[in-house]
């Protein structure tokens, strides 16, 4: 993939490149107030959602074209570059007409090749940085395919945004990071800038700081963070937005390590271990939920908690599976003995209620 730098004049070529601003453009006052606070902290690129694809109808779906005029005013008054999400050809045309500097394609749109192709066709002949978020599902090929469609339309200033992947069980994160997927994207397309969206991965403002640090430790190029002048009153995604002051504090605390091969490789491997551990915890939580449902069924039908035959079957089967995967069968049996013990404990609580 032939790519060129996404850096705009006046943006330093150092990590992290920061794009910050509210989830949604709500009112002109909110847009301007947030922009002025961010500009005062030295931020150069402003973000705000103009059109908001919501999971269910009836919520705030963006202010629409009216908000583009507010972004133009941000450029005029603060000198910041402005960016927003596009999901259709009409969005592209309206943004280009308004002089928007950077566009991004959202996760739901990335998952639809027809929609991405429509955007790519609308961008033919245009030289503008375009960032592509990962699709909602963990499909690297779909992510790369969206980038290729836009690149094939003649755009060379491309970047990727890692915003995590949707999951039915939302325990720690709103969207599971699955860091190994953007790491593989970096391996496949080494010259592609990758931004992290800690707001959408975490879903909670207290997770923004550690996620920013993790992204820097994995050598991501930039961060796209939701920042609002009054987060608690935000019309969308209030819980994951931070004030410009808090964002500045987070950025000032970041440790930016040098790109030393041995250190970076070890860091990436450890991050993969952390990701695996997170996934194990998520899966164990899911397994225990099913165990509790089984406990309820046993209580309703007068069935004993301990089923010796089933228990032995699990131990023997998992031990054999572990051996096939290069692990000691006794190690696997110990793990599943502990898992079974916890399952029994939780079912006993239900039975004895």
Residue 7 carries which DSSP code? P
Residue found by looking up tokens 């923004």 in the block: 208
Domain range summary for the chain, segments of one domain joined by +: 17-253, 263-352
pTM: 0.77
Question: What is the separation, in whole angstroms, between the first and last Cα of the chain?
Answer: 61
> Domain 17-253 - what CATH class?
alpha beta
Identical fold between 17-253 and 263-352: no
Spell out the per-residue pLDDT of the chain, length 353, in tens.
999 999 999 999 999 999 999 999 999 999 999 999 999 999 999 999 999 777 778 778 889 999 999 999 999 999 999 999 999 999 999 999 999 999 999 999 999 999 999 999 999 999 999 999 999 999 999 999 999 999 999 999 999 999 999 987 667 899 999 999 999 999 999 999 999 999 999 999 999 999 999 999 999 999 999 999 999 999 999 999 999 999 999 999 999 987 655 566 677 888 889 889 988 998 999 999 999 999 899 888 888 887 778 888 888 888 888 888 888 888 988 999 999 899 989 999 998 88
Report whether 244 contacts 252 (CB < 8 A): no
CATH architecture of 263-352: Up-down Bundle (1.20)
C-alpha separations of 75 from 159, 240, 241 in Å? 22, 25, 22
DSSP string covering 108-155: HHHT-HHHHHHHHHHTTT----EEEEPPSS--HHHHHHHHHHHHHTT-
C-alpha separations of 346 from 126, 166, 254, 338 in Å? 59, 28, 41, 13
């Amino acid at each position: 993939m032939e790519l060129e730098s996404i850096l705009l004049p006046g943006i330093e070529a150092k990590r992290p490149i920061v794009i910050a601003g509210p989830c949604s453009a709500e009112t002109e006052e909110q847009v301007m107030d947030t922009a002025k606070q961010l500009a005062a902290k030295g931020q150069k690129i402003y973000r705000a959602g103009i059109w908001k694809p919501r999971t269910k109808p009836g919520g705030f779906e963006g202010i629409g074209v009216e908000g583009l005029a507010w972004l133009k005013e941000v450029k005029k008054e603060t000198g910041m570059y402005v960016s927003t999400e596009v999901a259709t050809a009409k969005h592209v045309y309206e943004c280009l007409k308004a002089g928007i500097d950077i566009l991004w394609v959202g996760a739901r749109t990335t998952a639809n090749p027809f929609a991405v192709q429509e955007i790519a066709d609308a961008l033919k002949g245009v030289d503008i940085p375009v960032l592509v978020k990962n699709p909602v599902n963990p499909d690297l090929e779909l992510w790369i395919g969206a980038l290729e469609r836009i690149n094939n339309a003649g755009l060379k200033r491309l970047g990727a945004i890692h915003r995590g992947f949707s999951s039915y069980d939302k325990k720690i994160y709103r969207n599971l990071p699955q860091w190994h997927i953007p790491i593989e994207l970096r391996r496949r397309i080494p010259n592609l800038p990758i931004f992290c969206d800690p707001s959408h991965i975490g879903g909670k403002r207290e997770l923004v700081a550690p996620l920013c640090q993790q992204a820097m430790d994995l050598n991501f190029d930039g961060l796209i963070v939701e920042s609002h002048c009054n987060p608690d009153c935000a019309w969308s995604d209030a819980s994951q937005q931070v004030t410009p002051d808090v964002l500045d504090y987070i950025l000032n605390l970041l440790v930016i390590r040098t790109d030393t091969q041995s250190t970076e490789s070890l860091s990436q491997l450890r991050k993969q271990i952390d990701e695996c551990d997170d996934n194990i915890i998520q899966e164990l939580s899911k397994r225990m939920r099913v165990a509790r449902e089984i406990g309820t069924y046993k209580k309703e039908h007068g069935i004993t908690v301990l089923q010796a035959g089933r228990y032995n079957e699990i131990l023997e089967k998992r031990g054999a599976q572990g051996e096939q995967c290069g692990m000691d069968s006794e190690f696997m049996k110990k793990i599943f003995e502990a898992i079974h013990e916890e399952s029994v404990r939780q079912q006993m609580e239900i039975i004895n209620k």
